[in-house]
Chains A and B, each alone.
Chain A
Amino acid sequence: MLGHKARHLVRRQRQDGRTAPHTTMPSAAIELDAVDKSYGKRQILKGLRLSVPERSVFAFLGNNGHGKSTTIRLVTGLAAPDRGSIRVLGRDITCQRRQVLAQMGCLIEAPSAYPNLNAREFLGIGARLKDLPASEIDRALELVGLHPAPRQRIEHYSLGMRQRLALAHALLGRPRLLVLDEPTNGLDPDGIREIRALLSGLPEAADCTIFFASHYLDEVEKTATHLALLHEGRILLQASAAELERQLAGVLALDLDDAAQGARVLEAMGHVARTEGPHRVLVGGVDRELAGTVNSQLVQAGLVLYQSVLRKPTLEQWFLQMTAAEGASAC
């Protein structure tokens, strides 16, 4: 029962010939249209369509090996698509790569740095190549809350500090778009919490769009305003967090004086219901609004309602169900 409406949304989007509900979205920071990409004989991306609204924290979800990193490489101009178009910040990344990258900050996979340098020297690389003043280095360090000892080399940094430093590098020059690939990969729980808090605050603090790939659903649930689910090179679903919240149907658990009678009443009204013991009825495909209607219908039918609990699926449950359902339909 979980995810029934979300799957319905996917079907409807496919029937419309698109995978993303564009109508409610403002102008896009990233737009991919019918993008194909293969490595050798293996096709990684299959007609990928994606639209990332400006000033959103956009989570790009998917299992390992389904094309997240390839998409990030395409968006950052590190690879070229075989087919389709990619527009980033209103420009074609394949033709105007340099102009686009000047307004972007990237953290791609591992937080890479030169261990023989200190933080300021390392950030000096990005600052010099983006033609930024030295004060920009201080601003970026401040933004990520990193206050390293001036002479401390990066080789002595913890993984969390390196990750912050890599983020500071990405934030140099007030980028309009931050592209982050697995930004909390390899971090301990404290590090994950710190980076997550940082990401949540960045769109306001730095006035930018964040596009991040992740397979940590917990992270996505806590930071993202929008998300897309990538599965086997295709977008299964793209929605805002609010839309998804609305679309994710729950299970309504009702404690009644007579469960059998309650189930009959609900089925007569067109709901899918089943009993669980003499006093409990479970109703599937219910959101908040419908839960209120069901409750009042039961009371009007003369039943005594002791308790009504709407259980919504977690993002993890939803994700697993969506990818499993897609796998089954492909078979």
Chain B
Amino acid sequence: MLIRLCQVELLKLRRSLVLLTTVACPAAVVVLVYGMALRRITPEGMTAAQWSMLWGSASALWSLFMLPLYVGLCTALINGNEHRNHTWRLMLSLPIGRLELYAAKAMVSVLLLLGAQLALVLALALGTGLLGLSGFPLDTALQAELPRLWAAPVAALPVVTLQHALSWRLRSVVTPLAVSVVATLAAMQVGASPYWYWLPWAYPVAASNGGVESMRLMAVLGGAGLAALLFPLGAWWLSRREVA
């Protein structure tokens, strides 16, 4: 049933903004980072370290800024679909469990986050390919260190869980989006401090671009663990509320 519900949730997103933002958000990050880099890099000076820095910058901007905002927007749109169209009663009067619907929406949010992460990887590859066509040496790119792109979505799981619970609970999309923006801005401040682990919005960048291995590991494990704790708590809290 959960798979069917996920299929239904994806069906509901047809022709919606969510799918567009899944591609547009990471693409915007790559365009911005590569565009800014083109001012200072030249094909001659493009070493492996330069490629690493370029990709690292894209990964950092994505993980620190765009990914948390994308999660906020994505969960708000997925749940807002029901709030806006008054379809909670329609869905919950079908033979499905409330918890299943809650879980399916969370799973689709994670799926879309993975899709956005894949879009980031493809956009990075495309950007690199275009630079190669413009005369930048791709052999040094092959020697460059890849950023830990897989780690950011795992570390972002508690953000997905929190934003999902808020968006499910609140009729207006304004509050979840405001929380997303404020927490992202706070993460930009707190992310570089020793207290970054108090704010889950700082976990993705710590996991993908953290300065030390222990920080990166803690962000990934802490993110997964916190999400495992928050998800049942959110589900329990929301399952006690009746449909308005």
Residues of chain A at the chain B interface (Cβ within 8 Å): 73, 76-80, 98-99, 101-102, 104, 106, 108-110, 112-117, 121, 124-126, 128-131, 153, 166, 169, 179
Name the B residues within 8 Å of A130 (CB-CB): 94-95
Q: Once the chains bind, are B8 and A129 in contact (CB under 8 Å)?
A: yes
Q: Once the chains bind, are A98 and B96 in contact (CB under 8 Å)?
A: yes
Q: Once the chains bind, are B5 and A129 in contact (CB under 8 Å)?
A: yes
Which residue of A79, A104, A113 is within 8 Å of B85 (Cβ)? A113
Q: Once the chains bind, are A169 and B90 in contact (CB under 8 Å)?
A: yes
Residues of chain B at the chain A interface (Cβ within 8 Å): 1, 4-5, 7-8, 11-12, 14-16, 81, 85-87, 89-90, 92-97, 242-243
Q: Once the chains bind, are A108 and B90 in contact (CB under 8 Å)?
A: yes
Q: Once the chains bind, are A78 and B12 in contact (CB under 8 Å)?
A: no
Name the B residues within 8 Å of A113 (CB-CB): 85, 87, 90
Q: Once the chains bind, are B89 and A78 in contact (CB under 8 Å)?
A: yes
Q: Once the chains bind, are A78 and B92 in contact (CB under 8 Å)?
A: yes
Name the A residues within 8 Å of B4 (CB-CB): 128-129, 131
13 contacts between A and B (CB under 8 A): A78-B242, A109-B86, A112-B86, A112-B90, A113-B90, A116-B16, A124-B11, A125-B12, A128-B7, A129-B4, A129-B95, A130-B95, A166-B90
Name the A residues within 8 Å of B89 (CB-CB): 76, 78, 106, 108-109, 112
Name the A residues within 8 Å of B94 (CB-CB): 101, 126, 129-130
Q: CA–CA, A116 to B13, complex, Å?
A: 8
Known: A73-B243, A116-B16. A98 touches B93 (CB 8 A): no
Which residue of B8, B16, B97 is within 8 Å of A98 (Cβ)? B97
Name the A residues within 8 Å of B92 (CB-CB): 77-78
Name the A residues within 8 Å of B87 (CB-CB): 112-114
Task: State how many angstroms separate the Cβ of B74 from the closest Cβ of chain A.
Answer: 16
Q: Which 4 A-B pairs have the closest CB atoms?
A: A106-B93, A102-B95, A101-B95, A112-B86
Task: State how many angstroms separate the Cβ of B104 from the closest Cβ of chain A.
Answer: 10
Task: State how many angstroms separate the Cβ of A154 from the closest Cβ of chain B.
Answer: 9
Known: A106-B93, A108-B93, A129-B4. A114 touches B242 (CB 8 A): no
Shortest Cβ distance from B96 into A: residue: A129
Q: CA–CA, A102 to B94, complex, Å?
A: 7
Task: State how many angstroms separate the Cβ of B238 from the closest Cβ of chain A.
Answer: 14
Q: Once the chains bind, are A121 and B86 in contact (CB under 8 Å)?
A: no
Which residue of A80, A108, A109, A153 is within 8 Å of B242 (Cβ)? A80
Besides A80-B242, A98-B95, 10 more A-B contacts (Cβ < 8 Å) are A73-B243, A76-B89, A77-B93, A106-B90, A110-B86, A114-B81, A115-B85, A116-B16, A129-B4, A130-B95
Q: CA–CA, A179 to B87, complex, Å?
A: 16
Name the B residues within 8 Å of A73 (CB-CB): 242-243
Name the A residues within 8 Å of B15 (CB-CB): 116-117, 153
Task: State how many angstroms separate the Cβ of A181 from the closest Cβ of chain B.
Answer: 9
Task: State how many angstroms separate the Cβ of A163 from the closest Cβ of chain B.
Answer: 13
Name the A residues within 8 Å of B85 (CB-CB): 112-115
Q: CA–CA, A76 to B4, complex, Å?
A: 22
Q: CA–CA, A188 to B116, complex, Å?
A: 45
Q: CA–CA, A249 to B28, complex, Å?
A: 76
Q: CA–CA, A117 to B14, complex, Å?
A: 7
Task: State how many angstroms separate the Cβ of B62 from the closest Cβ of chain A.
Answer: 28
Shortest Cβ distance from B81 into A: residue: A114
Name the A residues within 8 Å of B90 (CB-CB): 106, 108, 112-113, 166, 169
Which residue of A79, A106, A125 is within 8 Å of B8 (Cβ)? A125
Shortest Cβ distance from A104 into B: residue: B93
Name the B residues within 8 Å of A109 (CB-CB): 86, 89
Q: CA–CA, A78 to B87, complex, Å?
A: 13
Q: Once the chains bind, are A125 and B86 in contact (CB under 8 Å)?
A: no
Name the B residues within 8 Å of A77 (CB-CB): 92-93
Which residue of B7, B14, B93, B243 is within 8 Å of A101 (Cβ)? B93
Task: State how many angstroms separate the Cβ of A82 from the closest Cβ of chain B.
Answer: 12
Q: CA–CA, A110 to B4, complex, Å?
A: 26
Task: State how many angstroms separate the Cβ of B176 from the closest Cβ of chain A.
Answer: 20
- In the complex, which of the residues B7, B12, B16, B93 has the most CB atoms of chain A within 10 Å of its own CB atom? B93
Shortest Cβ distance from A110 into B: residue: B86
Name the A residues within 8 Å of B81 (CB-CB): 114
Q: CA–CA, A110 to B16, complex, Å?
A: 22
